[in-house]
Amino acid sequence: MFRCAGCENQTVPLSDDEQRILREIEDQLSADEKFASAVSSSGLYRHSARRVSWSLVGMLVCLVAVVLTLQVHYLVAFVAFVGMLGCALNIERQLRLIGRAGVQDLAQKMPKPRVRFPRD
């Protein structure tokens, strides 16, 4: 159903021919595997998830750099701290871009751990 321009509460149903054309377009798009994987729920968030993981690595490297450079000079450690802060801001930005639904989709796509803990 499409809303007509200027109409507030009126909807216009698709004709049979328009519905048929829409179904054909959907079938063609779903048949294209490369396109389907790019717009799938995991494909939409893959780039942001990769940036989050690299930012986490960057934060760990900067944290180690802060600890090691505190022995050398406090200004060098401050530069490493600013780098760590930049990584944290990038993580926050990417998680906002992904959103709650994207985080849930990514969590479902992650492999489950195979470790079984003994029950008491």
The pair of structure tokens assigned to 110 is 């992650």
Q: State the Cα–Cα distance between residues 106 and 44, nearest whole angstrom.
A: 10
Q: What is the pLDDT of residue 49?
A: 83
For residue 118, is it within any domain?
no
Q: What is the pLDDT of residue 29?
A: 75
For residue 58, is it within any domain?
yes
| CB within 8 Å of 80: residues ≥ 6 apart | 62, 65, 66, 69
For residue 2, is it within any domain?
no
Question: Considering its fold, how many domains does the chain have in total?
Answer: 1
Contact 95, 45 (CB under 8 A): no
For residue 61, is it within any domain?
yes
For residue 102, is it within any domain?
yes
For residue 90, is it within any domain?
yes
Return the closest-CA partner of residue 104 out of 44, 56, 55: 44
Q: What is the pLDDT of residue 1?
A: 52
Domain that holds residue 58: 11-109
For residue 114, is it within any domain?
no
Q: What is the pLDDT of residue 99?
A: 80
Q: What is the pLDDT of residue 78?
A: 95
pLDDT in tens, 37-66: 666 655 667 788 889 999 999 999 999 999
For the chain, list residues with pLDDT below 50.
Answer: none
**Helical ranges in 9-111 per DSSP H:** 16-31, 33-38, 41-69, 74-109
Q: What is the pLDDT of residue 42?
A: 57
